[in-house]
Amino acid sequence: MRLDLRIPIGLLFALLGLLLSLYGLVSDRALYAVSLGVNVNGWWGLVMLAFGSAMLGSAWVSARRPSSGA
Amino acid sequence: MTLHLIDYAIIGLYFLFVVGIGWALKRYMKTSLDFFESGRSLATWITGLAFISANLGAQEVIGMAASGAKYGILTSHFYWVGAIPAMVFVGVFMMPFYYGSRARSVPEYLRLRFDEKTRGFNAISFAVMTLFSSGISMYAMGRLFELFLGWDINLSILIAAAVVLVYTFLGGLTSSIYNEVLQFFLIVFGFLPLALLGLAGVGGWTGLEQRLAEVAAQRGFAPGVLTESWRHLGSASANPMGVEWFGMAMGLGFVLSFGYWCTDFLVVQRAMAAKSMNAARRTPIVAAIPKMFFPLLVILPGMVAIAVLPAGAFEFGGKTDYNMALPLMLQKFYPPGLLGLGLTALLASFMSGMAGNVTAFNTVWTYDIYQAYIRRDAGDRHYLRMGRVATVFGTVASVATAYIAMAFGNIMDLLQLVFSFINAPLFATFLLGMFWARTTPNGAFFGLLGGTGAAAVHYALTGVAGGRTSVLHIYPSDMAQNFWGAIVAWTACFAITVLVSLVTRPRDSRDLVGLVYSMTPRQRDSELPWYRRPAALGLIVLVAALFLNLYFR
């Protein structure tokens, strides 16, 4: 049984997403003057968290069906 | 500019995962085939993403943004005319011979199809070339981080090299490929907000067109020259690249791009690691789909940079250096946090480019130089050990070439030129070798030598505007000289290979089964669903690329 690549990718992006979105929550709004007033850390963190979770979810689903591996 | 704790945390997390993947894969590396070819077992989406990621090195990310700033949307020809058709071609037509011949490397295919001397020429020039490009890319990274963040250049080079060494040493090609996929996603997630913020900041595509029309006028060109990819290719003097449509389509599109994507072992190796013939053929075609949209990620920020940054932003010590376009854009639009992610993406691109070079080098060294000329009949464990030694040697030698680049900047420019002499004619050799059974080993060898020689002679006899004057012909830009040099090299190689082949003895046709089109049973994929058929997928990709060309014409 090989290492399913979706697990490390999913984990890394979920963690990075979590880190960024939490930072977006607590950071000073003045930081976002450069990014046209958008809290890019918060929003992009959530996008990355969603992507990471989707990767982990798809790895979990295919691990339960042993016939199809990646 | 300064980094915050959050930025360091993001970079640190990334390093942890990169090394962790290598460590987790270590126990799967039992034979040399596992180490060099990933045991030929990887899924198509993995090999496909690695296929583009291995090429996403320093030159790609930094260089494409720089070209976007210098040439505008003309840079998209590297993708929509160059890479995409070549990737479809290698998948549909060439992969059956690479994968089907069971060759373990591109030079080994040349030995099976032709002879030892053709393989030797290709293997040795490829090995030297990979080490130098990996070193040049490391030097570029170190210099960028020094200029931009004040990081010590020695420290950047040593840390990046150490991390790449650890994960390629432990997990071989699989580790390199897995990390390339990880890096692919990091590059997308790290640069996509930059493209979106930049475009929003400049007032959308129409806003960008208006701003770049002013910039184009300042540079003495028609207003649309930076935002229209085809309308200004009627004559070489009408656009900043100094190339007209024929030089563009033939030089860049046909010779240079097909030469790179179809014969460079660095990318072909990724497809050869696929789990089946069908997966190997679909690898470059699946890769072409995201590749089509990379101009948005890497060229657009460069175009936005010249629209939003002040005119003097690219002046460094009296010289214009567009290589800083991407870092300057990160600085302008990214707050702490996202900046860490952007820098991680930059680091990831450097490291994936370098790891790609190191894994291609260790394979060619072990199979095509060491096993061919130094020790022929050792056990598999011996070659696996040699692969690890070559990984260490390749990394150390890359660091050494990075320092050579640092000491002799001009010599490096010259070397990169020499490499373009070596690569350009190769595609003629493969085209004839794969599709004309009559091509003889001597024809291929002397064609390659002649093609390389013709490129050198072309370079010696021509000049670029503003440079040497005592030459036969002066090109408006070095881009034009490069494209036309490639055309000359390709044509010479093609003609010499055909002529020499007609007067020398071909190989017995029984030896060519699986290596030449007419001697190989056709790939039967008519019973597969359309999305698994390489030709059908390739057609869709080509139509999409055509549409992009027409839309941004």
The answer to whether the predicted template modeling score (pTM) of the entire model surpasses 0.80 is yes
For residue B422, pLDDT over 80 is answered with no
The pLDDT score that the predictor gives to residue B431 is 93
Partner residue facing A34 (CB), from B9, B41, B335: B335
Q: What is the mean pLDDT of chain A?
A: 88
pLDDT-based confidence at residue B411 (cuts at 50, 70, 90): low
* pLDDT at res. B37: 79
Is the CB of A2 inside 8 Å of chain B's CB atoms?
yes
CB atoms within 10 A of CB B380: 12
The predicted-structure confidence for B365-397, as pLDDT tens digits, reads as follows 999 999 989 988 888 889 988 989 999 999 999
pLDDT at B235: 86
For residue B456, the model assigns a pLDDT of 87
CA distance B500 to B115: 15
The conformational region for residue B473 under phi > 0 = left, psi -120 to 50 = alpha, else beta, is: beta
Residue B464 — φ and ψ, nearest 5°? -115, 145
Q: Does B11 have pLDDT greater than 80? A: yes
Would the pLDDT of B84 be above 70? Answer: yes
**Across chain B, what does the average pLDDT equal?**
88
Which is it for strands B315-316 and B319-320: parallel, antiparallel or unpaired? antiparallel
In this complex, is the C-beta atom of B15 within 8 Å of any C-beta atom belonging to chain A? no
Kindly calculate the radius of gyration of chain B based on its CA atoms and give it in whole angstroms.
23
**Which residues of B fall within a CB distance of 8 Å from A24?**
337
| Most distant CA pair in chain A, distance | 52
Q: Are B164 and B395 in contact, with CB atoms under 8 Å apart?
A: yes
- Average pLDDT on B349-361 reads 86
Q: Do B335 and A35 touch (CB under 8 A)?
A: yes
With the CA atoms of B508, B509, B513 and B517 taken in that order, what torsion angle do they form, in degrees rounded to the nearest 10? 130
Residue B7 has pLDDT above 90, yes or no: yes
pLDDT at residue B202 tops 90: yes
Q: Hey, are the CB atoms on A44 and B10 less than 8 Å from each other? A: no
Residue B110 confidence (pLDDT): 94
pLDDT at B513: 86
Smallest CA–CA distance, residue B482 to chain A, in Å, is: 39
pLDDT at B465: 78
- A15 close contact with B: CB closer than 8 A: yes
Question: Number of CB pairs < 8 Å for A and B?
Answer: 88
* pLDDT of the residue at B322: 86
- Domains of chain B (ranges; CATH) run 5-23+32-113+169-354 (1.20.1730.10), 424-522 (no CATH)
| Cβ distance of A20 and B338 shorter than 8 Å | yes
Distance, in angstroms, between A41 CA and closest chain B CA? 6
State the average pLDDT over residues B349-359: 85
**pLDDT over 90 percentage in chain B:** 43
- Kindly state the average pLDDT of the residues B229-250: 88
Instruction: Judge: A41–B335 Cβ closer than 8 Å, yes or no.
Output: yes
Q: What is the pLDDT of residues B263-316, one digit of tens each?
A: 888 889 889 888 899 999 999 999 999 999 999 999 999 999 999 998 788 887
pLDDT at B192: 95
Q: State whether A20 and B182 contact (CB < 8 Å).
A: no
Q: Supply the pLDDT for residue A69.
A: 44
Rounded Cα distance, B367 and B385, in Å: 12
Q: Does the beta carbon of A3 lie under 8 angstroms from any beta carbon of chain B?
A: yes
> pLDDT-derived band of residue B410, with 50, 70 and 90 as boundaries?
low
Cα nearest neighbour of B340 on chain A:
A20
pLDDT at B412 over 70: no
Whole-complex ipTM: 0.92
Q: How large a percentage of chain B has pLDDT more than 70?
A: 98
When pLDDT is cut at 50, 70 and 90, the band that residue A70 belongs to is very low
User: d(Cα B156, Cα B276) in Å, to the nearest integer?
Assistant: 39
28-67 in chain B: CB under 8 A from chain A: 28, 41, 43, 45-46
Q: Per-residue pLDDT for B529 more than 80?
A: yes
- DSSP 8-class letter at B229: S
B28·A3 Cβ contact <8 A:
yes
- A21 contact B CB<8A: no
Question: Shortest Cα distance from A9 to chain B (angstroms)?
Answer: 6
Tell whether B341 is within 8 A of chain A (Cβ): yes
For the segment B116-149, what is each residue's pLDDT rounded down to a tens digit? 999 999 999 899 888 888 888 888 888 888 888 8
> Are residues A40 and B9, on separate chains, in Cβ contact within 8 Å?
no
Tell whether A6 is within 8 A of chain B (Cβ): no
Bigger pLDDT: B58 or B369?
Answer: B369
**A3: nearest CB among B24, B45, B337:** B24
CB–CB of A36 and B332 under 8 A?
Answer: no
Task: Count CA within 13 A, CB hemisphere, residue B243.
Answer: 24
Among A36-50, B259-273, B483-497, B510-524, name the one with the lowest average pLDDT. Answer: B510-524
The whole-number pLDDT of residue B546 equals 94
Task: Judge: B41–A2 Cβ closer than 8 Å, yes or no.
Answer: yes
pLDDT value at residue B280: 92
Asked if A9 and B182 come within 8 Å (Cβ–Cβ), the reply is yes
DSSP class of B315? E
Q: Rounded to an integer, what distance in angstroms lies between the CA atom of residue B278 and that of residue B91? A: 9
CB B459 within 8 A of CB B417: yes
pLDDT for B523 beyond 80? no
- pLDDT of B204 reads 92
B273 secondary structure, DSSP code:
T
With H, G, I as helix, E, B as strand and everything else as coil, classify residue B85. Answer: helix
Between CA B232 and CA B71 the distance in angstroms is 12
How confident is the model at residue B355, as a pLDDT?
85
- Average pLDDT, integer, range A23-45: 91
Q: Is the pLDDT of residue A67 over 60?
A: no
Residue B72 CA to residue B69 CA, distance in Å, equals 6
pLDDT of residue A1: 41
Inform me whether the pLDDT recorded for B73 exceeds 60. yes
* B141/B165 Cα distance (integer angstroms): 17
pLDDT, one tens digit per residue, over B160-189 is 899 989 988 888 888 888 888 998 999 999
Residue in A5, A11, A19 closest to B46 by CB: A5
